[in-house]
Amino acid sequence: MAASVVTRFAPSPTGHLHVGNLRTALHNWMWARRHGGRFLLRIDDTDAERSREDYVDAIRADLAWLGIEPDGEERQSARFDRYAERFDDLVRSGRVYPAYETPEELDLRRKILLGRGLPPVYDRAALRLSDAERAALEAQGRRPHWRFRLDAAAPIAWEDRIRGHAQFDPALLSDPVIRRGDGSWLYLLPSVIDDIDMGITDVVRGEDHVSNTAVQMQMFEALGAAPPAFAHEALLTGSEGKLSKRLGSLGIAHFRDAGIEPQAIVALLARIGTSDPVEPLVDPEPLIAAFDFARFGRAPARFDEEELAAVNARIVHQLSHQAVADRLPSGMGEAAWHAVRPNLTRVADAADWWAVIEGSIATAGQDEADRPLLEQAAGIAAGLDWSDQPWAALTGALKATTGRKGKALFLPLRLALTGRDHGPDMAALLRLIGRERSVERLRAAAAGPGQRF
């Protein structure tokens, strides 16, 4: 039995994926997974001059890093014969026709129409040419581009999974160019042919494609196929509340360099634009199970890197040592990871705390009044049973002998032992620092600043 849902992600390999592309890929993948269907990757490499194989490899690598594994892959560059075959069918049926206007002529016509307050719709002048006129133009060296003839008899309408009822008047649309004079393909027709042949049932893409969908609805019909269901998502905006060009430059390399975990990107992009809260879930399955286009709004979806960083920190706090071991400093084991993890915003920051645990620290400037406390603490620490709970034993003994408690007790000790006034739980940290290093640091702090231990 065929899968009930088949989705696709169709990037052009003319650059790296950006955050908007990643969101589209993720939502197509999640919709297919929720319904037990298939998610396909289609490389739209019809532009031979701009398409590059290293970008194809980067697209695959970026999806894999996010945990998105396609169930199949197609290349448009391998399907030119198929496009030509269906193109010829449409020419024979009269739905595709040659047009000979130059770009300059078309631009002049658009300006005249706009100047008259009319929509700049192509006037189908090419359909009024006689065979002799076409032959004369070709004798002059003109090569036709090809247009798909829209049927203006009835409105184009469909029920969009996000936008609801969508309707276009074909009389207000120009017959779209589908093939250039040099024989190369534009996006519209090959995409429809691919969706038919690949059995695509659902297409998730940005709302900037709505007008493309309108003309493609008639292409599906002209090719004798039912169109897939469409979901047109509101575009992403930056944190400033406007469409941001910067979003077009934010890709996987940017996020990886910033220490962002793939789970954080998935968690945020799965929910922004919906009525559901963003949850820092390491496992995407709950996100997939709850994914529903009915929960998406039509307002622009706000992508905030500060929110992503906050989600990332909460993801990091859940990661196991096994999941991050290859990114930790040599020798940093599970106990140390669990001790410092609650204070991290990025996995890479664990190295700073490992240096505190294993390396040398500069003695912090201690209040003169705290030095007797630290000297006494050094003596107590030297005699503690370090296999038990040395922090509780140390602070308990000092509280009993000095009367200090709370911040007055804990802060001087933390400064002396770590060189910092905040950080991970000292009960876990002290055991990792160890007896010898702890005693040395306490004595150095008691002696005064300017030393490293």
How confident is the model over 66-88, as a mean pLDDT? Answer: 97
Percent of the chain whose pLDDT exceeds 70 = 96
229 phi/psi in degrees, rounded to 5: -80, 140
Amino acid at 298: R
How confident is the model over 338-357, as a mean pLDDT? Answer: 96
Q: Residue 84: which residues within 8 A CB-CB, separation 6 or more?
A: none
Place of tokens 């969908």: 213
Domains of the chain: 6-84+189-234 (3.40.50.620), 93-179 (3.90.800.10), 360-447 (1.10.10.350)
Amino acid at 200: I
- Is residue 11 within 8 A of residue 59, CB to CB? The reply is yes
pLDDT tens string 93-137 = 999 999 999 999 999 999 999 999 989 999 999 999 999 999 999
User: In this predicted structure, what is the pLDDT of residue 2?
Assistant: 45
How confident is the model over 175-199, as a mean pLDDT? Answer: 97
User: In this predicted structure, what is the pLDDT of residue 245?
Assistant: 62
Q: Is 277 left (phi over 0), alpha (psi -120 to 50) or beta?
A: beta
Q: What's the CA dihedral at 109, 114, 119, 124 to 10 degrees?
A: -10
Sheet-wide strand order for 6-9: 6-9, 38-43, 72-75
Query: What is the pLDDT of the chain when averaged over all its residues?
Result: 93
Q: What 3 state SS string does the chain have?
A: CCCCCEEEECCCCCCCCCHHHHHHHHHHHHHHHHCCCEEEEEECCCCCCCCCHHHHHHHHHHHHHCCCCCCEEEEHHHCHHHHHHHHHHHHHCCCEEEECCCHHHHHHHHHHHHHCCCCCCCCCHHHHCCHHHHHHHHHCCCCCEEEECCCCCCCEEEEECCCEEEEECHHHCCCCEEECCCCCECCHHHHHHHHHHCCCCEEEEEHHHHHHHHHHHHHHHHCCCCCCEEEEECCEECCCCCCCHHHHHCCHHHHHHCCCCHHHHHHHHHHCCECCCCCCCCCCHHHHHHCCHHHECCCCEECCHHHHHHHHHHHHCCCCHHHHHHHCCCCCCHHHHHHHHHHCCCHHHHHHHHHHHHCCCECCCCCHHHHHHHHHHHHHHHCCCCCCCHHHHHHHHHHHHHCCCCHHHHHHHHHHHHCCCCCCCHHHHHHHHCHHHHHHHHHHHHHCCCCEC
Which of 57-61, 266-270, 355-359 has the lowest average pLDDT? 355-359
Residue 399 annotated as lining a ligand binding site: no
User: In this predicted structure, what is the pLDDT of residue 448?
Assistant: 74
pLDDT tens string 2-16 = 459 999 999 999 999
- Is residue 68 within 8 A of residue 25, CB to CB? The reply is yes
pLDDT band, residue 1 (cuts 50/70/90): very low
- 177: pLDDT strictly greater than 50: yes
**Which is it for strands 156-160 and 164-168: parallel, antiparallel or unpaired?**
antiparallel
User: In this predicted structure, what is the pLDDT of residue 248?
Assistant: 72
Which of 115-129, 189-203, 211-225 has the lowest average pLDDT? 115-129
**CA distance readout (Å), 420 to 261, 365, 415, 444:** 27, 10, 5, 15
pLDDT tens string 234-251 = 999 887 665 556 777 789
- 365: pLDDT strictly greater than 80: no
Query: Which own/partner contact pairs does 139-142 have at CB distance under 8 Å and 24+ positions apart?
Result: 142/100, 142/102, 142/181
33 or 388: which carries more pLDDT confidence? 33
- 24: pLDDT strictly greater than 70: yes
pLDDT band, residue 361 (cuts 50/70/90): confident
